[in-house]
Amino acid sequence: MESTSTAKSRKLVTLDEYIIQAQNKFPGATGELSQLLRDIGLAAKIISREVNKAGITNLLGVDGSTNVHGESVKRLDLFADQQLISALDRSMITCMVISEENDGIVRLNSEGGKYIVYMDPLDGSSNIDVNVSIGSIFSIYMRQPRFDKKLVEDDALQPGIRQVAAGYVLYGSSTIMVYTTGLGVSSFTLDPSIGEFILSEDDFKIPECGNIYSINEGSYNSWADGLKKYIKYCQVEDEETNRPYTARYIGSMVADLHRTLIKGGIFIYPASTRYPNGKLRLMYECNPLSFIIEQAGGMAIDGKKRIMEKQPTSIHQRIPIYIGSPDNVKKVKELLDQHENKESV
């Protein structure tokens, strides 16, 4: 029998090593995007540390203020926002940041920086005080070539197809960072014993079809008829299509999307009578997660069209989203289209 000492072990690859290896594949790469991703990785480690001990460092609970969306701001929201902005400012690569926690654009010290970063510093804030998984989301764009003028909000209003990188960090039973630069999706798990993100999955692929649907069914009566029809479709027993599907809804988009990426299925946050334009934000929630899901082979639509092709009109714009395995998204779109056509007749 072969002893464990002679058994081959898988070589561990850190996030920094992986980013450098990827950069080396492109002759002439300046390394600025690589540095930007490493900066975000460092901020994620600091946020993860504080999330894990928030109950004993007085970081739980609300700050007492509200953000631009009228939502109560948690202490951890502000801490995560500050850490990410500080990390992005240090390397002088990023010219501006747009965050869920700030009303307008945040100009950094380097107005000549090449990149614009959107971020949701702590997605799923309502879950913070009950110890349920939360996350950070980021989306990176190149600044448009207009260096002779002062930075303005319009510089940041670019469609999702122009993203050069996007990712999220999930703070759960383990801390996981998932990102894409348009060449597939990679996942890294934080090893707290050495303080490094270690490659856990390269080239993620979402299943073509999944048997999990994720939606807040408490709002059922306020949905369009086509979506109601799809939920009933998910609940009807049919062995050929592996139905009924299982309902799973965490209330943190990062956590719900991470499960969808691994197991397949669909995540939906639709338009409703209360939120006629949807509730989730296009630029720092829907676009980056759509980029990741598409790179993994999935789909993301607003009910009609591809999310990433939408031209934004404001930095905090809201939008409905249907995202996940391609077969699931195609089916819900089919039913949405059928009922829209009936209503227009």
CA distances (Å), 293 to each of 98, 232, 324, in order? 22, 25, 7
Is the pLDDT at 66 greater than 90, yes or no?
no
pLDDT at 5: 44
Distance CA 280, CA 282 (A): 7
Express each pLDDT in 171-220 by its tens digit: 988 999 999 999 999 999 999 999 999 999 999 999 999 999 999 999 99
Is the pLDDT at 127 greater than 90, yes or no?
no
The alpha carbon dihedral of 321, 325, 328, 330 has a sign of: positive
Picking from 56-65, 127-136, 323-332, which range would have the lowest pLDDT averaged per residue? 56-65
Is the pLDDT at 230 greater than 60, yes or no?
yes
137 vs 52, more confident: 137
**Closest residue by Cα to residue 286 from 295, 275, 296, 278:** 278
Question: Which residues, in sequence order, are CB contacts of 286 under 8 Å at separation 6+?
Answer: 160, 280, 300, 307, 319, 321, 323
In this prediction, residue 55 has a pLDDT band, given cuts at 50, 70 and 90, of low
Annotated binding site for substrate: 123-126, 216, 249, 279
Alpha carbon of residue 115 to chain centroid? 18
**Closest residue by Cα to residue 230 from 104, 75, 334:** 334
Is the pLDDT at 27 greater than 70, yes or no?
no
Domain parsing of the chain, residue ranges: 15-202, 212-344
CATH tag for 212-344 (out of 3.90.79.10, 1.10.10.10, 3.30.420.10, 3.40.190.80): 3.40.190.80
Distance CA 64, CA 148 (A): 40
Residue 238 phi/psi, 5-degree rounding, is -160, 110
Mean pLDDT of the chain: 88
pLDDT at 75: 81
**Tokens matching residue 246:** 């299982």
pTM, full prediction = 0.91
Question: Which residues, in sequence order, are CB contacts of 280 under 8 Å at separation 6+?
Answer: 253, 269, 286, 318, 319, 320, 321
Q: Locate tokens 């905090």: which residue?
A: 316
The predicted model gives 129-145 an average pLDDT of: 89
Distance CA 131, CA 219 (A): 24
pLDDT at 345: 46
Distance CA 285, CA 321 (A): 10
Is the pLDDT at 4 greater than 80, yes or no?
no
The alpha carbon dihedral of 41, 43, 46, 49 has a sign of: negative
The predicted model gives 52-67 an average pLDDT of: 56
Annotated binding site for Mg(2+): 100, 120, 122-123, 285
Is the pLDDT at 43 greater than 70, yes or no?
yes
Question: Which residues, in sequence order, are CB contacts of 37 under 8 Å at separation 6+?
Answer: 15, 19, 165, 167, 179
Express each pLDDT in 289-308 by its tens digit: 999 999 999 999 999 999 99
**Tokens matching residue 262:** 């691994």
| Helix 15-24 vs helix 32-52: crossing angle, to nearest 10 | 170
Annotated binding site: 100, 120, 122-126, 216, 249, 279, 285
Q: Domain 15-202 falls in which CATH fold?
A: Fructose-1,6-Bisphosphatase; Chain A, domain 1 (3.30.540)
